[in-house]
Each structure stands twice: as structure tokens, then as C-alpha cells.
Amino acid sequence: MKRVLITGAAGFLGSHLCDRFIKDGCYVIGMDNLITGRITNLEHLFKHENFEFYHHDVSNFIHVPGELDYILHFASPASPIDYLKIPIQTLKVGSLGVHNCLGLAKAKNARMLIASTSEVYGDPEVHPQHEEYWGNVNPVGPRGVYDEAKRFQEAITMAYHNFHGVETRIVRIFNTYGPRMRLNDGRVLPAFIGQALRGQDLTVFGDGSQTRSFCFVDDLINGIVKLLESDYSKPVNIGNPSEITISQFAEEIISLTGTEQKVIYKDLPVDDPKQRKPDITKAKEILNWTPKVERSEGLKLTYEYFKSLTKEELFHTEHSNFDKFIIR
């Protein structure tokens, strides 16, 4: 039985990864400091004999007893609302946090995969974005704390791979959606659906011509697992290249929810990317991976999840049932 450590385990992607590795017969150790993660995302796993949870900040020294086969570093604020609110913690988890994880991987002779992001490309001057593009990032802008943390994370990971011989993998994640997203995390899909469910007009920043490409979470998790199990150590884009403008996406959400809200326009935030579309040639050729879930299907599943939320959750009241659980 393989033993897997997943940092950021209580987050959107981290919790889905925990599910996947438990399903695959692994012993999973989830780790999260719960700054942005929600313990309710893991509630269903707490009674599973092959799962344990550490309430810990990976920016501090990490001790995990026993052997480890894989480490997946997904701890990080991932939305503008979060990393603008806690910029120092964002930089620390992308520097000290990844350093601690890499040190643990070296000590345990474990293979490590880091969650990088399409944000390493910044506001791109190349379209679609391929892995050899170095990006157009403003290091001192408001988004720099996240973008540069991820770029540093990639650099130190490659350094450990080249200098210490640590087995490493780097996934550059493009816009992903699905159940367990937080309605108030500031990303466009939960923002639109939340506004529709609350009877509010949908807010588009800029003129709506900027584009995004949305990948359903199940497809992303499959791509991550394929990359982890591959022998390729350089960055790989994982995302859905089906591109759509934000204005078109707002209309899709209105049609999906059956609401009659208007679309209103506000100023575009500083350094907000104008285009996002992954070149997934490497993922196709090296991993034999392509996304399978059509956006219309994925949006229906995601909408059903958001409709199931309580009124408290729908109106942005953060809460946690963390104290109800025994943390091992």
C-alpha cells in the first residue's frame, strides 16, 4: 500500500486528490492549516481506516512518521480574494512550505508533485500558452505574491531534482471548477453562480472580452495522477483548451440557472490576464491525457452542488465544523 502525503488537503483540489488516492487503495495523510481549506471537505474520510489528518502549517517544519511514496504539495491560497488578504502567508507557503516538503521528499526518498499554475504566464503575450513560454508577470503588482510564489516553487523544485536527485513533477493548473469550490473565493465561476442564486446581477470586470478555459475537476485529477506516475520532470499544462469570453460565460450561467439577472460591468483589476488557454500538446503526447467532460455537463454538476448549500453558505458566512472532529 502506497503512503501519500497531500498538503492543502482540505482545499478544493486537495480534498478531491484525497478521495482519488483513497479510491486507488493508498494510505493518505492529509495536511492543512485550514486558513482557506474547509474541514467539511474531508468529513466523509475521517472514519476511513486509510486516512489521517494533520492540522499543520507546512511553512513550519514537517514531521511525518513512517515511509512516504508520494508527496503532493497543494497548500496555497489560490484565489485573488485569499492571496490579497494574506499575501505574506501566500509567499511563505510557496517558498518555505515547498522547501520543507522537498526536504521531506529527499529524506523519505519520495516522489513529489507540486501544484503550479497558469498564473506563472502572467498576462500572456503568447496564445495559447505553452510550457516553454516564460511569461509576462509583474513581480511587484497585487498578483505578484501568488505568481512569484509559484514561479519560485517551480525553480526550487527543479533545483532539488537536478542537485539532489529528488523525483519531482510540476503541474501547471489552468482554471478548474467543480463541487467543493467556495462560493466566496473570488473566482469567476463560483462568483457568477453565487450571484445568480442570490438574485444579484452578474459582475463582469473589464469589457468581458477576456477569455478563460475551464476544466472540470475530475479531468484535472486524472491528469495530475497521470503526471505523477509518469517519468517526466518538467512542467506540464493541465487544463481544458475550450476557450470562452467572460461575457459569453456569464450568459451561459444565466441560461443554466434560469435566472433573469443582468450583466453589469466594472473596471478590470490590475494585471488581470486578458487570455487563458492551455496548449496541452505535452499532456496529450507524454501522458495520453485530454479532458473528457464537456463544460455543459460539468456546469450542471457544479450548479447542483452549489444549490445544495445552506443559506448561511450561500450568503458568504464562513463557518467550520473543525472542532467536531478528532484530528490524528
Q: Which of 91, 104, 81, 82 is nearest to 7 (CA)?
A: 104
Q: Which whole-number Å values give the CA distances from 194 to 80, 83, 182, 240, 316, in the listed order?
A: 17, 20, 10, 23, 9
Quote the longest CA-to-CA distance of the chain: 58
Percent of the chain predicted with pLDDT > 70: 94
> What's at 273, amino acid-wise?
P
> Which cell numbers hold the place of 287?
501522458
For residues 242-260, give the mean pLDDT.
Answer: 92
SS3 241: coil
What ranges do the domains of the chain cover?
Answer: 3-324
| 327 pLDDT tier (thresholds 50, 70, 90) | very low
> What's at 106, amino acid-wise?
K
For residue 176, report the phi and psi dihedrals to the nearest 5 degrees: -125, 145
Residue 128: cis peptide before it, omega within 30 degrees of 0? yes
Residue recorded with cell 460539468: 298
Q: Which of 146, 160, 177, 303 is catalytic?
A: 146
SS3 190: helix
pLDDT digits (tens, 9 = 90+) for 280-321: 999 999 999 999 999 999 999 999 999 988 666 666 544 333
Sequence-distant (≥ 6) Cβ neighbours of residue 97 within 8 angstroms = 7, 57, 58, 59, 73, 75, 76
Question: What burial letters (b/e) apply to 153-175, b meaning 16+ CB within 10 Å?
Answer: bbebbbebbeeeebbbbbbbbbb
Sequence-distant (≥ 6) Cβ neighbours of residue 49 within 8 angstroms = none
Element (H, E) at 87: helix 87-92
Residue recorded with cell 493541465: 238
Dihedral sign for Cα 103, 106, 112, 118, please: positive
pLDDT digits (tens, 9 = 90+) for 140-197: 998 999 999 999 999 999 999 999 999 999 999 999 999 999 888 888 999 999 999 9
Model pLDDT, residue 323: 34
pLDDT digits (tens, 9 = 90+) for 56-76: 999 999 999 999 999 999 999
Dihedral sign for Cα 197, 203, 207, 208, please: negative
- The reply to whether CATH 3.40.50.300 applies to domain 3-324 is no
DSSP bridge partners of 21? none
Is 146 designated active site? yes
Q: Is the pLDDT of residue 17 over 70?
A: yes
Model pLDDT, residue 270: 76
**Could you give the CA distance from residue 300 to residue 304 in angstroms, rounded to a whole number?**
6
